[in-house]
Amino acid sequence: MQFILLAVLMFAATSACAHPGSSNDDSSANQPVGKQQYAEFFIKGAKQVVQSNGIPKHAVGRFPNQGNPHTIKPQRQRYEWTAFPKVAQSITPIDRHPFGVAINGVLFDPGTAEFFRGDRHSEWKLEAMTSRMARALDANHAHVQPSGAYHYHGLPTALIDRLKTSSRSMILIGWAADGFPIYSLHGHRNSLDSNSPLVELRASYRMRKGNRPTGDSVPQGTYNGHYTLDWEYVAGSGDLDACNGRHGVTPEFPEGIYYYVITRDYPFIPRSFMGTPDPSFLHRRSPRNRMNGPFPSGDNAIRKKPHLQPKGH
């Protein structure tokens, strides 16, 4: 099992960096990062581990910009997750923590720190993808935190372009904090049949209808998608469950596995875990998810530990 996981890690991670840079005509994502990328994936015991500086290989938008005053800076981050994920008895909301990490070491972090009237205790939190905050996102649906951390709020389009080798294959783009894999957009029409055609998978959320509740602590007016509470899950209305995932076969897991999907529509990135998230994602400032010492020197390819490579690969 570890050999299979390692092969998946190394193939996907190397693909994320080895392809020639893709062109992007969107002026909001045509800037070279100008910083060296570092991301290392490896297996330690029963855990998969990533150490990275959070710098993508692909082009990004112009930062700072009018809606985002922050500059992309290398981070020191270490995250880990179980190599043997299991479905938990109940789902776990992500709260204000990252959902997972892309195979280039950049975080999937759908939450925001913007609330109605700036009240951090309000349950009315703005959505990055469907509110005024969207103006600050680049074409990779990403922007920059005050710490300088570049992170995705939706489909990482340039990363997907780098990984896309065929229109007939699902694309593994990352790992969730609970250990389940993350794929982009497409899955087999029959989730258990690898010969079934690929289709774009639909989330099972919709915007609420009517007006929001009244009161001074509530943004008045009709539901317009600007806030998280403007959306509701409707079981069976799409292809995916409340965690924006499903069970099925994938190229990396031909026997089947539960997997998440980054979708074109809300919630974009899942907002809850089907499994148990690793604590390294839940305490962002703790020493556990910070790398020690300087960044490794050398080229900007994703690194791998040769002694962990399966024989014959």
Summarize pLDDT for 62-84 with one digit per residue, the tens.
999 999 999 999 999 999 999 99
Residue 85 lies in a domain: yes
* Nearest by Cα to 198 from 211, 185, 213: 185
Residue 23 lies in a domain: yes
Q: Is the pLDDT of residue 241 over 90?
A: yes
Residue 193 lies in a domain: yes
Residue 203 lies in a domain: yes
Residue 91 lies in a domain: yes
Q: What is the pLDDT of residues 181-237, one digit of tens each?
A: 999 999 999 999 999 999 999 999 999 999 999 999 999 999 999 999 999 999 999
Domain of residue 210: give its range.
Answer: 2-308
What pLDDT is attached to residue 228?
A: 97
Q: Are 249 and 276 in contact (CB under 8 A)?
A: no
**What is the CB neighbour count within 10 angstroms for residue 2?**
14
Residue 123 lies in a domain: yes
How many domains, the chain? 1
What pLDDT is attached to residue 227?
A: 96
pTM: 0.85
What pLDDT is attached to residue 16?
A: 52
Residue 313 lies in a domain: no
The pair phi, psi for residue 299, each rounded to 5°, is: -75, 175
Residue 206 lies in a domain: yes
More confident residue, 197 or 290: 197
Mean confidence (pLDDT) of the chain: 85
